[in-house]
Amino acid sequence: SAVISQKPSRDICQRGTSLTIQCQVDSQVTMMFWYRQQPGQSLTLIATANQGSEATYESGFVIDKFPISRPNLTFSTLTVSNMSPEDSSIYLCSARDRTYYEQYFGPGTRLTVT
Amino acid sequence: ELKVEQNPLFLSMQEGKNYTIYCNYSTTSDRLYWYRQDPGKSLESLFVLLSNGAVKQEGRLMASLDTKARLSTLHITAAVHDLSATYFCAVDITQGGSEKLVFGKGTKLTVNP
């Protein structure tokens, strides 16, 4: 199984600023994803982080707001840009092991925008 | 648009009882995932069901998949308090050449002594 770590675990940010969340997987994985989860709600996929190419964004999410990098098979970053209180949420990194179809989740980053 | 519907969304049950959580989905898929989430925690993988008729069991939980009916069930046997958590099903779909999970809304399970 893959172990995923995220930094920071939580942050409180001012409106209009940006925050970059880092995701590290302890093994090489073919697919990495970024999800958002509002408290008490389900998970919504933001984008698939593609290694060596631009991320694939879901409807309602755009690159200017949520730029994503994935420089190698174990690491990805998500930036939440020009934040507003509506961006307050938990952001989860996820990775899939295609061999066994297991998909794992990181511990999440709890973001509060004031 | 793919819909993944779980029911019930809230379930309060007594210890020792049995119950089933249902997950219906609206498109063709051969893979379905079940996760558990405790308050303030991330998602823990419970089961990955990879084909029609797949059945997996771990302790008091058993999951099954019927791809023809587009239905998965998570059966709880003789519930204990430690099973209190939110359970999500997620359907694996391929869209635009890439695979992704689409989640249900979750079932919040409370097991009372």
Predicted confidence (pLDDT) per residue in A22-57, tens digit: 999 999 998 999 999 998 899 999 999 988 888 999
Q: Which of A42, A48, A102 lies closest to B100 in CB terms?
A: A48
Q: In the predicted model, what is the mean pLDDT of chain A?
A: 94
Residue B7 near residue B72 (C-beta atoms within 8 A): no
Tell me whether residues A33 and B100 touch, CB distance under 8 A: yes
Instruction: Retrieve residue A61's tokens.
Output: 């999410």
Judged against a pLDDT cut of 90, whether residue B2 lies above it is answered with no
Contacts of A33 in chain B (CB under 8 A): 100-101
Nearest CB to B105; choose among A42, A92, A105: A42
Place of tokens 């980053």: A109
Q: Would you call A56 and B102 a contact, using CB atoms and an 8 Å cutoff?
A: no
Residue given tokens 């880092």 in the structure block: A22
Give dist(CA B113, CA B95) in Å, integer: 44
Residue A99 has pLDDT above 80, yes or no: no
- For the stretch B40-63, what's the b/e string if a residue is b when 16 or more beta carbons lie within 10 angstroms of its beta carbon? eebbeebbbbeeeebeeeeeebbb
Distance from CA of A77 to the nearest CA of B (A): 18
pLDDT digits (tens, 9 = 90+) for B51-106: 888 999 999 999 999 999 999 999 999 999 999 999 999 999 988 778 899 999 99
Q: From chain B, pick out residues whose CB is under 8 angstroms from the CB of A100.
A: 48
- Residues of A with a Cβ under 8 Å from any B Cβ are 31, 33, 41-45, 48, 56, 92, 94, 96, 100-108
The 10s digit of each residue's pLDDT in A61-96 is 999 999 999 999 999 999 999 999 999 999 999 999
